[in-house]
Structure 1
Amino acid sequence: MCPADRNNDAGDAASTAVRLTAILTAFRQGDEALGVSELARRCALPKSSVHRLTGHLVASGLLEREGQGVRLGLRLFEIGQLAVRQRGLVDAARPYLADLREATRNTVHLAVLEGTEVVYLDILRGSDAPRLPSRIGGRFPAHATAVGKAILAGSPESVVDAVVAAGLPRVSGRTVTAPGLLRRQLGRIRAEGLAYDREESGVGVVCAASPLYAADGTAVAAISLSGWTNRMRVDRVAPAVRTTALALSRTLS
């Protein structure tokens, strides 16, 4: 095979991988089965390409047929469970999260930072807590959440710079969108070990969070406690969140 042929093959493979990824990530929360036309619209791909690629994904178990459409397959869940990079963190944190949920009856989150967003690794919902839009595996802009700000406060300055450079979109009327104000908040969080979300991610919801530190002093994750603004006093629950985070950090180290 000549070099040109090898380059063409590599380009085709990369293009196919991009298209397969686009199809799998086109599904959103609440979606059940999606038809070829809808997938093609969301992915901006020809229907013929989507039809062919979904056939391959169904054959591999990554998608499943349902009526005239397809849905995410069980094989994806199985692969997700093998993503051991964060599995140890979830397993180590679960007893601490459960104790915090039991003591407060509010919802506890465990999240990590990926790019400019937080990804929720575990959520234990409290009986007295609001139904939040967060979900395991879900994402949210880091600057608009207590867990995100807690992690950013313990991250290298280059990470904060990247988040600011990407823009600080408004999620609610109280979201911090000014870079200077965000940086001042991060300075206080760094000093106190506590971050707050006062209806910044959603109306009526407040949150207190604290970072989890690796042995080198870098924040690797954060835990938070969320509740209704008229039921949960963040200043009262914050010490419990901080104590839990410190104990879990020692375990992780």
Structure 2
Amino acid sequence: MANSRSGDKLLDRMVRILESFTAEEPRLTVAEIAARAQLPAATAYRLVDDLAGQGFVVREGGAVRLGMRLWELANRASATRDLRQLALPYLEDLNQLLRQHTQLSVLHEDEVLILERLSRPGAAVNQAHVAGRLPVHQTSMGMVLLAFAPAHVQSGYLSRHERAVADLHGDFRRTLAEIRHRGWATFDGFLDDTTTGAAAPVLDRAGHAVAALGVVIPRGSDALPAVSMALMTAARGVSRDLQARGD
């Protein structure tokens, strides 16, 4: 694949363009894209035109946004599609029972990646959104995913984020061990000081977390014990269905 004068591959440059967009800023000018993707303006204009021709981005007046073709291709990814389909009935039950936003997430590149979220009018503040990312050690979903991850995944994450996790959790390995013993995770106010997050792991046959089911409730709510039981019951159901299909 053709390289630029700087040595960048064409694919690398196109990926940087696509990664310029965020949930908070879904529309950008080409000049903003060029700055974020660290590209000359002329190169950014040419590549944006190429991407638009394939439906990966769409022009709207003077702005550019991601196109529907990306969504279409992403939803063909069998691993996430099958996991979402298996988990969705359980998420819907949790949503109806708890009357709070519920979400499904996985551990990806040292972050929590949200695969699905069901909203609820009047529910507690919840910063998770589909295709969004959250910090692992600041979320109950991230902590339960890491607690039930293989030992080398835990060690690798700790080595890369040692200072951050120590400042927040103290003895990080002990915190992970307590989560494994309890079977679920809960933390108050890490992302929003008015809420409490709770999560339970979806496990494969080896007992490792494939995903997590999570919910956010108002901080100090006396519903937390019932929430934890409902989460663990739902997560066991998804785990059972997933294992029956061969993980």
Please confirm whether the aligned pair reaches a TM-score higher than 0.5, indicating the same fold.
Answer: yes
Paired residues of 1:116 and 1:162 also in contact (CA < 8 A): no
Using the alignment, how far apart are the partners of 1:49 and 1:106 within structure 2? 46
Per-residue CA distance 1:169-217 (angstroms, 9 max, x = gap)? 86xxxx8635652221110111111111211122211111111101122
1:29 aligns to 2:23 (yes or no): yes
Per-residue CA distance 1:4-54 (angstroms, 9 max, x = gap)? xxxxx5656961111100000100113243112111111121101101111
1:176 to 1:120, Cα distance in 2 relative to 1, 3 A = farther
Using the alignment, how far apart are the partners of 2:195 and 2:40 within structure 1? 42
Q: Report runs of 4+ in structure 1 exceeding 6 Å deviation.
A: none
Which is further off, 65-74 or 51-60?
Answer: 65-74
Classify the secondary structure of the residue corresponding to 2:9: helix
1:206 aligns to 2:200 (yes or no): no
Per-residue CA distance 1:140-187 (angstroms, 9 max, x = gap)? 1111111111111111111112222222686xxxx8635652221110
Count of residue pairs the alignment pairs up: 241
Please name the residue that 1:227 is paired with: 217
Using the alignment, how far apart are the partners of 1:105 and 1:195 within structure 2? 19
1:155 aligns to 2:145 (yes or no): no
Which is further off, 135-144 or 234-243?
Answer: 234-243
Using the alignment, how far apart are the partners of 1:64 and 1:153 within structure 2? 41
1:82 corresponds to which letter in structure 2?
Answer: R
Structure 1: gaps (5+ residues): 1-8
Instruction: Identify the match of residue 126 of structure 1 among 113, 117, 120.
Output: 120
| TM-score between the two structures when normalised by the length of structure 1 | 0.88
Which is further off, 91-100 or 130-139?
Answer: 130-139
1:113 to 1:239, Cα distance in 2 relative to 1, 3 A = same
Matches within 5 A, 1:27-176: 27-167=21-161
Using the alignment, how far apart are the partners of 2:230 and 2:125 within structure 1? 22
1:78 corresponds to which letter in structure 2?
Answer: E
Instruction: Identify the match of residue 188 of structure 1 among 172, 178, 194.
Output: 178
Displacement, 1:81? Answer: 1.2
Using the alignment, how far apart are the partners of 1:76 and 1:66 within structure 2? 17
Using the alignment, how far apart are the partners of 1:232 and 1:138 within structure 2? 29
Using the alignment, how far apart are the partners of 2:209 and 2:26 within structure 1? 36
Classify the secondary structure of the residue corresponding to 1:177: helix
Please name the residue that 1:217 is paired with: 207
Identity rate of aligned residues, in percent?
A: 32
Paired residues of 1:110 and 1:222 also in contact (CA < 8 A): yes
Paired residues of 2:169 and 2:175 also in contact (CA < 8 A): no
Structure 2: gaps (5+ residues): none
| TM-score between the two structures when normalised by the length of structure 2 | 0.90
Using the alignment, how far apart are the partners of 1:32 and 1:24 within structure 2? 11
CA RMSD in angstroms comes to 2.1
1:243 aligns to 2:233 (yes or no): yes
